[in-house]
Structure 1
């Protein structure tokens, strides 16, 4: 009999290759904990049907009470193949994996609250200046099936309003990158306080943790979606700090 393994549901681009930051957080944890898993690719128009089909609960709820089904999601049959665990909420997935597979923890002891604040800052503050650049490019990198779906159903877009064009004027692009660099500079200044009692690269001490995965997931998003010059810019900022973090996480970027 085949050994049960975890299934990670993720969204492809044209390749397909993983690019969605939230999915990369989960993939980093799976790789870090050396858990056996496989990726099931699901195009955006098929997400709700797929998640309903595996018995997943809504990932969240809209203000009008309608359910939202979103990826990533996991199905874990390894503890009980007759009743696999199904999760489709990012935070619940992270907590489940850490509690169920405590070896090689992603939350160093006593750091859960501070890491939670760090990750909130990444997703709510740090990443926002990137959105004018990354949202149109993310749409452009979707398979045509998904692009057509969002053009016909703009309210279903996980990125916000569907752009009418994937083009951004050069001066707008430069302004957006300038504002984004301000956030990178602020974060670098904060992380530099670790020098002396850390390795000067990761968020805590000398080992990667969930905070690093959340940040590196954004770096991967830039690298794989803004193929024009996004990663070329970012990797050179702050003395190459972000390239060093990317390289620290590189061994955990395997895709199964």
Structure 2
């Protein structure tokens, strides 16, 4: 081999993410994985996939379904991570955000996102963020996210088109008064969580969930903040910045270092 011959590039982790009209990623479940990759300083690249292509793309690479329907049919969703860095011939292919997080923590233990003794409580915290805290945001954020998708992906969720996959409300913002009511319900969740996090004052800095250092729980919460900031910068993020004495801006600032690829 010539000295000037290019060496083959070292394999890197591949993250499959949703393509949108925006150049910036926005999906909160996928941001949780981006945060971990960035925090652990792991090299990766992104493959962008439109909604109508998700299942075919993931089947083609041999990705497992993220969950199963009640009738036993598989559900394919993003994120998916392919890790060829340990075995290029047989890379690890993982689906489901929590499964990927557990894998990355076990395979790359440096700079842990689950400090000793916090895994169970963090898992419960993240479940709360996803299943309770974020629920009032859905009537506002899902239609705004739909509007940011490429035209072909928007059609995937439009009634009367082939492959239609969502109810009408998916793409329809609630009218003004109902939207204000929705934001009040969102604020109730932020207020409740602020009271909980205040219990760390004295034992921690009162900003992050596990005392002093950022962890997976903070990344799960900040992923929701990113979703709001990217999709509703005026109507949403400008409100939230002022809530709870600026707590959420402080959390954003703590996590900001890990919003860029290593």
Q: TM-score range by the shorter chain?
A: over 0.9
2:44 is aligned to: 37
The alpha-carbon deviation at position 155 of structure 1 amounts to 6.1
1:194 is aligned to: 200
Q: How many residues align?
A: 253
Return the TM-score normalized by structure 2.
0.93
1:156 is aligned to: 165
Return the TM-score normalized by structure 1.
0.95
> Counterparts of 2:105 and 2:163 in 1: how far apart (Å)?
35
2:71 is aligned to: 64
The alpha-carbon deviation at position 228 of structure 1 amounts to 3.3
Structure 1's unaligned 5+ residue stretches are none
Structure showing greater Rg: 2
> Counterparts of 1:202 and 1:137 in 2: how far apart (Å)?
28
Q: For residues 255 and 14 of structure 1, do their structure 2 counterparts lie closer, same or farther at Cα, with a shift above 3 Å needed? A: farther
The alpha-carbon deviation at position 91 of structure 1 amounts to 1.5
Contact 2:125 2:217 (8 Å CA) reproduced: yes
Q: Residues 207-222 of structure 1 correspond to what in structure 2 (within 5 A)?
A: 207-222=213-228
What RMSD in Å do the two structures reach over aligned CA positions? 1.4
> Counterparts of 1:164 and 1:110 in 2: how far apart (Å)?
39
Structure 2's unaligned 5+ residue stretches are 1-7
The alpha-carbon deviation at position 12 of structure 1 amounts to 2.1
2:98 is aligned to: 91
Contact 1:6 1:36 (8 Å CA) reproduced: yes
1:206 is aligned to: 212
Contact 1:140 1:166 (8 Å CA) reproduced: no
2:109 is aligned to: 102
Point out 4+ residue stretches in structure 1 off by more than 6 angstroms.
none
> Counterparts of 2:48 and 2:113 in 1: how far apart (Å)?
25
